[in-house]
Amino acid sequence: MAESYVKPGNQERGWNDPPQFSYGLQAQAGGSRRTPLTRRAAPPPAGAPPGAPPGPPGAPADPAAPPPRALGPPPQGSAGAAPRAEGRPSAACPEQEECSVSADTVLAPLRAALDACRAAVQKQVCNDIGRRLTVLEDAWAQGKLSAPVRKRMSLLVQELQQQHWDAADEIHRSLMVDHVNEVSQWMVGVKRLIAETRDLPGETDGSAAAEPATEPATEPEQEEP
């Protein structure tokens, strides 16, 4: 669900700044920690004339001739796959897509979840979350949020409604990492909302009546922490 993209680094502030990978790409690479390129070429056998190239397949056809002044074109052909040293697929390009999610489809469930929390959670915390949801609403209305942010927020809300707490949390993390300058003011409120909603007592202790209809009355699939 998180995006997979690579952006160039900030060459103005740091020389040779490496490219920036999205959260999605970094998370998926987290599993394998092996450096893929670890082989070394065998040294020339002792006694071979040093300095001679170890017979590379691409030795110039006529070493005695001077290099051609006129540069010929590269070999033609559309080779199928890229000749990678390790056969792994390339990263996807960033997608520029439209997002037509309305603010309300995201904010209404969030406010509903907040209302569900008011009974169990401190007033101050709820007010704080509410304040941040307002900041989110304003930013959305003023068009300050980019399409990926809006898209992923709608996904986050869907996960929240289905009680997939870990998935919602993961989306919040990916947004914090990839778009911190857009979301930092209000995302912590959403994060807290997910955590508090997750911790709500639930139907077992008879407070089911206090929960609004938008919360499905099924057993949460994830374990409560």
Partner 1 sequence: MATYLEFIQQNEERDGVRFSWNVWPSSRLEATRMVVPLACLLTPLKERLDLPPVQYEPVLCSRPTCKAVLNPLCQVDYRAKLWACNFCFQRNQFPPAYAGISEVNQPAELMPQFSTIEYIVQRGPQTPLIFLYVVDTCLEEEDLQALKESLQMSLSLLPPDALVGLITFGRMVQVHELSCEGISKSYVFRGTKDLSAKQIQDMLGLSRPAVPMQPGRPLQTPEQPVISSRFLQPVHKIDMNLTDLLGELQRDPWPVPQGKRPLRSTGVALSIAVGLLEGTFPNTGARIMLFTGGPPTQGPGMVVGDELKTPIRSWHDIEKDNARFMKKATKHYETLANRSAANGHCIDIYACALDQTGLLEMKCCANLTGGHMVMGDSFNTSLFKQTFQRVFSKGYNGEFRMAFGANLDVKTSRELKIAGAIGPCISLNAKGPCVSENELGIGGTSQWKICSLDPSTTLAIYFEVVNQHNAPIPQGGRGAVQFVTQYQHSSTQKRIRVTTIARNWADAQTQLQHIEAAFDQEAAAVLMARLGVYRAESEEGPDVLRWLDRQLIRLCQKFGQYNKDDPNSFRLSESFSLYPQFIFHLRRSPFLQVFNNSPDESSYYRHHFARQDLTQSLIMIQPILYAYSFHGPPEPVLLDSSSILPDRILLMDTFFQIVIYLGETIAQWQKAGYQDMPEYENFKHLLQAPLDDAQEILQTRFPMPRYIHTEHGGSQARFLLSKVNPSQTHNNLYAWGQESGAPILTDDVSLQVFMDHLKKLAVSSAS
Q: Minimal distance in Å, beta carbon 200 to partner 1?
A: 15
Q: Which is nearer to partner 1, 170 or 215 (CB)?
A: 170
Q: Minimal distance in Å, beta carbon 35 to partner 1?
A: 6
Q: Which is nearer to partner 1, 92 or 108 (CB)?
A: 92
Which token pair is 88?
């792994």
Q: Which is nearer to partner 1, 90 or 142 (CB)?
A: 90
C-alpha to C-alpha distances, 117 to 103, 105, 210, nearest whole angstrom: 21, 19, 9
CA-based nearest residue to 6, from 20, 16, 27: 20
Which token pair is 67?
């290099």
Q: Nearest 5 degrees, angle CA 203-CA 208-CA 210?
A: 145
Q: Which is nearer to partner 1, 77 or 212 (CB)?
A: 77
Q: Minimal distance in Å, beta carbon 171 to partner 1?
A: 11
**Amino acid occupying residue 32:** S
Cβ–Cβ < 8 Å for 10, 17: yes
Q: Minimal distance in Å, beta carbon 36 to partner 1?
A: 5
